[in-house]
Structure 1
Amino acid sequence: MTDVRPTVPTVPGLTGLSVLARGGYATVYRAVQESVGRDVAVKVENRRLESEGDQHRFLREARAAGRMSGHPNVIDLFDAGMTANGHPYLIMELCEGSYADRMKTNPLSPVEARDVGVKIADALADAHALGVLHRDVKPANLLISRFGEPQLADFGLAVLAEVRDHSITLDVLTPAYASPEMFRYAPPSPAADVYALCATLYALMRGRPPRWRDDVNPSLVSMVDVFGEPIPDVPGVPPELMGLLRAGMANDEMVRPTAVELRDALYAFDFNLSGPRPTAPSRRPVFSTPVRRPSESGPAPLHAEDRVSAGDTAEVGDEFAGNDEQTRAYSAPTAASPRRRRWRWLPERRTVAERSAD
C-alpha cells in the first residue's frame, strides 16, 4: 500500500466534491449523489491499495460495515469502491457535526452522556454479535445526525486498519481512547471497543480524555506510563456512573463489561433528576445467531461451563439489537486461555421492573 494524498477524486455518481476535513489517514468530502439528489459524505483513503488482495480485503470489510449501517445509531453506508488510481472510498450519510466539537464548548451532562452511551453501546453490541469490531471509538467518530441523534461513524475504514505492520496500527489508533493492550500489539477484541467508549463518555463530560493533564497531546511512550495512574472524578458526575466508566476502562480487559452489560447498566441508571430517561435505542431483536463468514468469525464458541444463563441478561438487554451470549462467543477464551472473569461494579443491580415498582 502506498500513501499518496489524492487530489479531488472522481467518484462515480457524485458531483460537486468539496473538502470537509483532511487527516493523515483519509480526506472527507461533501458531495451530491446525483441519482437521488441528496448530499452525502465521501471518505477517501489517502493510501492506495495497489495489490488485488488489499482491495479485496477492503471491499470485504466494507460489506461488513454495510451490515452495521442498518442500526439506528450507526452512520448509513450507501456505497463503497475504488477510485481510478487505487484509493478506497466510502459514500455515507452526511452529518453536520461531531461530539468532538460539542465537548470543546459545552461538555455533556451525566444524563446526556448516559443517553449517548446507551445508544452507542447498543450499536457496538450489535456489531460484536456479528463478529465486527470498530477499533476507533472516539468523540470525533460520534457524529450528530440532522435529527440530533448520536451516530457511530468509521466502521469501514477503522476495520480496514487491520494491517500486518504494527507501526501502522499505532499510527491509526487514537492514543487518548486506546486501551492499554493496544499498545502491546494484542489482537483486537470487543473489550477494546468498550474501553474506548467509556473513555469517550468520560471525555464528553469532562471536556478532555481520561488522565489528560493539559491540552498537549502526550506521546505514545507517556501514554503507556499514565495507565498506572488513577482516573480522576468528573465534577458533578454521580459516583455510580464514575464507577461504571472506571470498570469499562480497567487495565485488565478480562474484567471489563461487555458492550451489552455496559448498555444495560447505563440504561438502568436512575439519577433522580428531572431529565427524561433515554428511549430504547433499538428494538430490533436478534432472531437467530448471525451467519458469519470465515473472515468474520471469532474464536471457538464457549464451553458449556463458560456460558451465561439466560437469566443473567434478560433484565433489559433481550429487547435490544445485541445479544450478550453472542457477544461473549465472539470474545470467548480458547481452550488455552483463562476463562473470562465475571464483571462486577456495584453490589446491587436492579432490573427495570424493580425500579418501576419504586
Structure 2
Amino acid sequence: MSERRPQVVVPTIPGLSNLSVLARGGYATIYRAIQDSIGREVAVKVENRTLEGERDQRRFLREARAAGQMSAHPYVVDLHDVGVTADQHPYMIMELCDGSYAERLRAAPLTPSETRDVGTKIADALAVAHDSGVLHRDIKPANLLISRFGEPLLADFGLAVLAETRETSITLEVHTPAYSPPETLRYGSPTSAVDVYGLSATLYAMLSGRPPRLQPDRSPSVLALLELFEEPIPEVPGVSASFIDLLRLGMANDPLARPSAGRLRDLLAELVLERPPGPEAVRASARVPTGGYAQPSAGATEAG
C-alpha cells in the first residue's frame, strides 16, 4: 500500500488562476499561474514564512523595493506585483522564465563565448544595482534565469540589501558558500565586491561545470571554508588563460582588489577568447622549418 502524500494547499492570490507548483525550497515556493486580466502566464514566489513581526515586514519591503528598482533592467527578471496572502504569506508576481543556468549546467558547461555573453549582461545589471545602492548578495547559477527569448536574467533580490537599510545581523544567513567570498564569513556591512565575487565564481562554474573551490556535496565548517580560500583556482581545459585570470581577479580574497561590476562588464566585453593550442596545433608548429612561418588555421582564435 503506497503512502499517501499530504495534500498541497494552493494559495489564493487575487487576479491569478490555475496555480501549479514549479519549485519548492526552504525559503519559498514558486508557482506557475495565469494573470486573468491579460491572459499572461506568470511566476509567483510565495514565501514559506509569514509576516508575523516588524522585522519580517521590513525584510519583505526591502525585497520588494530592491526588486522594483531593478525590474526595468533588460537583464533582470521583471516584477509585476507584490502582496500578502490572507494567511500572511508574502508573494511576488514575476516574469515566467524557461529555467535557470543551474539546470542548464546539469547537461553540460557553457562555451567561453556563451559564458562571456552572460557575464557581460549580468555584470551590467549589477553595475546599475550598485549605482542605485542595491546589493544582491546571492549570485549563483540558480539565480540566473533564462528568458523565453534565451536571454540571461538576474533573479531573486530577496536577499538584497538597500544601502540605507542594511542589517548586519543577517549577513551570514543569506549566502551560498560555494559562490561567496571570505568576508561573508565575518560579521560586517557587505559591499558590492560580494556580488562581483559571486558573479565571477558563477561564470567559472559555467565554464567548468563546478564551483571554483567548494565541492557541491560538501558542507564544511567555517574554518574549513577559510582554508579553501588559500587554494589556487585551477585552469579550465579549453578555456583561455586570460579568461580564467579575469575571473580569478573577480574572486580575489581581498575585496579591494576586485574590479567593480561596471569594470568587470567592460573587461568581459573586451576579452578576446583565444583558444588554447591543442595537440594538433602543437605538432604542426613543431614542423615549421627554421625561417618559415605557420599559416594560422581558421578558428585559431575566437573574435571578441
Same fold (TM over 0.5): yes
Query: Which structure has the larger Rg?
Result: 2
Once the 2 structures are TM-superposed, how far is the Cα of residue 67 of structure 1 from its aligned partner? Answer: 1.9
Please give the per-residue CA displacement for 1:236-290, whole angstroms capped at 9, x wherever unaligned. 11111111100100111011000011000000012257xxxxxxxxxxxxxxxxx
Other-structure match for 1:219: 220
Counterparts of residues 156-305 of structure 1 (less than 5 Å): 157-159=158-160, 165-166=169-170, 169-212=171-214, 214-221=215-222, 222-272=224-274
Cα distance in 1, alignment partners of residues 64 and 259 from structure 2: 28
Matched letter for residue 174 of structure 1: T
Gaps of 5+ in 1: 1-5, 274-358
1:47 to 46, 49, 74: 49
Equivalent residues of 1:103, 1:205 under 8 A apart:
no
Other-structure match for 1:348: none
Other-structure match for 2:116: 114
Please give the per-residue CA displacement for 1:67-121, whole angstroms capped at 9, x wherever unaligned. 2011110000000111122211111000121100111211011111100000000
Other-structure match for 2:17: 15
Hey, which bits of structure 1, 4+ residues long, moved more than 4 A? Answer: 160-166
Gaps of 5+ in 2: 1-7, 276-304
Question: TM-score, with normalisation over the residues of structure 2?
Answer: 0.82
1:136 to 115, 135, 138: 138
Cα distance in 2, alignment partners of residues 215 and 132 from structure 1: 28
Equivalent residues of 1:192, 1:253 under 8 A apart:
yes
Name the SS for the 1:192 alignment partner: helix
Identity of aligned residues (%): 62
Which of structures 1 and 2 has the larger relative contact order (alpha carbons within 8 angstroms, sep 6+)? 1
Other-structure match for 1:102: 104
2:30 to 28, 31, 34: 28
Please give the per-residue CA displacement for 1:150-208, whole angstroms capped at 9, x wherever unaligned. 010001x1227965644xx5343211101110111231110000000000000011001
Name the SS for the 1:265 alignment partner: helix
Matched letter for residue 53 of structure 2: S
Cα distance in 1, alignment partners of residues 26 and 269 from structure 2: 36
Equivalent residues of 2:172, 2:186 under 8 A apart:
no
Give the number of equivalent residue pairs: 264
Cα distance in 1, alignment partners of residues 20 and 172 from structure 2: 29
Once the 2 structures are TM-superposed, how far is the Cα of residue 55 of structure 1 from its aligned partner? Answer: 1.9
Other-structure match for 2:66: 64
Cα distance in 1, alignment partners of residues 121 and 100 from structure 2: 15
Other-structure match for 1:87: 89
Matched letter for residue 124 of structure 1: L
Other-structure match for 1:353: none
Q: Which moved more, 1:245-254 or 1:6-15?
A: 6-15
Change (3 A) 1:86 1:224: farther
Cα distance in 2, alignment partners of residues 259 and 160 from structure 1: 16
Cα distance in 2, alignment partners of residues 164 and 215 from structure 1: 27
Question: TM-score, with normalisation over the residues of structure 1?
Answer: 0.70
Change (3 A) 1:47 1:72: same
Once the 2 structures are TM-superposed, how far is the Cα of residue 8 of structure 1 from its aligned partner? Answer: 2.1
